């Protein structure tokens, strides 16, 4: 892991971008009291380092009345690194899965899904979990009301400097090869 030092200007820039990434570089430079070329360089560096991973517009399916969310806790029969990695790779290809976390506690994974309706959720369970042959147990929960949603990380702009650890960039692959998630050899499993 590389150590990256974020100064006050970097952190304020990250906070501003998370509030509205449609601001012009001129407007951002004025808000940060830096020149526009300095701002462009800082923003480029944050993107290259992976701190800013994407510039996207978030569509809220709930406000549109489209579909439903489901929260899914999953426990695997075989909890070896290879089996867990295989599950993680399988989940990557499923468009209904918005987020997947390897977690502590009684379950191995926590998933957040968006599906069109309960029938689509049932089909997901049959196609992905039942067909895997390695799901020991799962529990579903459905939100009745969303009281808060944000994807912002609040950066303290008062501290002089903040050190963060960022992963080393992956080695370049020869043309034609695709990246596959490596097994997590440091993974620890709790005894149940």
Predicted pLDDT at 185? 37
Question: Residue 175 pLDDT more than 60?
Answer: no
Rounded distance between C-alpha atoms, residue 105 and residue 188, angstroms = 12
Selected residue with higher pLDDT from 184 and 135: 135
| Residue 15 reports pLDDT greater than 90 | yes
Instruction: Band the pLDDT of 124: cuts 50, 70, 90.
Output: very high
Question: Which of 60 and 121 is assigned the larger pLDDT?
Answer: 121
What pTM does this model have? 0.70
Packing angle, helices 25-32 and 8-19, rounded to 10: 130
What pLDDT is attached to residue 189? Answer: 40
- Phi then psi for 129, rounded to 5 degrees? -80, -55
Burial annotation 81-114 (CB, 10 A radius, 16+ → b, else e): eebbbbbeebbeeeebbeebeeeeeebbbebebb
Higher pLDDT, 41 or 157: 41
Strand 109-115 to strand 97-102: parallel, antiparallel, or no bridges (unpaired)? Answer: antiparallel
- Over residues 42-88, the pLDDT tens digits come to 999 999 988 998 888 888 887 777 789 999 999 999 989 999 999 99
Q: 24 pLDDT exceeds 90?
A: yes
**Predicted pLDDT of residue 166:** 75
Say whether pLDDT at 31 is over 70. yes
**Confidence check: pLDDT of 161 > 90:** no
Provide the pLDDT confidence category of residue 147 given band limits of 50, 70 and 90: confident
């Amino acid at each position: 892991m590389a150590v990256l030092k974020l100064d006050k200007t970097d952190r304020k820039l990250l906070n501003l971008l998370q509030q509205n990434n449609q601001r012009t570089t001129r407007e951002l430079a004025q808000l940060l009291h830096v020149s526009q070329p300095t701002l462009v360089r800082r923003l480029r560096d944050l993107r290259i380092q992976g701190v800013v991973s994407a510039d996207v517009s978030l569509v809220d399916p709930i406000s549109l009345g489209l579909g439903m969310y489901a929260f899914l806790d999953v426990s695997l029969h075989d909890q070896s690194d290879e089996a867990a990695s295989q599950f993680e790779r399988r989940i990557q290809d499923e468009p209904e899965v918005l987020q997947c976390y390897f977690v502590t506690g009684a379950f191995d994974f926590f998933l957040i899904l968006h599906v069109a309706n309960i029938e689509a959720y049932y089909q997901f369970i049959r196609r992905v979990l039942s067909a895997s042959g390695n799901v020991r147990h799962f529990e579903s929960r459905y939100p009745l009301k969303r009281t808060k949603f944000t994807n912002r990380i609040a950066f303290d702009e008062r501290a002089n400097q903040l050190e963060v650890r960022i992963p080393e960039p992956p080695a370049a692959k020869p043309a034609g090869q695709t990246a596959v998630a490596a097994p997590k050899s440091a993974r620890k499993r709790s005894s149940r």
